[in-house]
Amino acid sequence: MGEIIFWGILRTAIIIPLLWIAEPYIAYSTWWFASIALLYAVILHPAIIQYRLFIEKNKRVLESSLCSSCRYFDRSAILCLSHDEHPTSAFLPCDGFDWEPKNVSTIEEYSEDR
């Protein structure tokens, strides 16, 4: 996910100076429309596409891995917060030894009720 943010910031750093340079050469009303269209086409749309590819690439980890049900798993970054590593469908950072369910309090309450 950080890669998407990085490239978005880099594209922004390139596009904004180009828009400032182009401003005297384009009519003011056209410049606003061109600026908004260029910001969408060069920054926002590629970020949306990259995000969809990121989710598709990590879909298996999100849906059917042991890590996705762990309390240390960060869904937004596909990251094990305990080991600071990215799990894949073939690699679990803790090998399942440090796995803890997400809702420990719910499980404890359920076992106390029985």
Give the C-alpha distances (Å, rounded to integers) separating 64 from 57, 60, 67, 69, 73: 13, 6, 9, 9, 13
Number of residues that this document lists for the chain: 114
Whole-number percent of the chain with pLDDT over 90: 36
- Please state whether beta strands 79-80 and 73-74 pair in parallel, antiparallel, or not at all (unpaired): antiparallel
Q: What is the mean pLDDT of residues 76-83?
A: 84
pTM, full prediction: 0.70
pLDDT band, very low/low/confident/very high, at 99 (cuts 50, 70, 90): confident
Q: Where are the domains of the chain?
A: 2-57, 60-113
- pLDDT value at position 44? 96
Q: Give backbone dihedrals phi and psi of 101, rounded to 5 degrees, phi first.
A: -65, 155
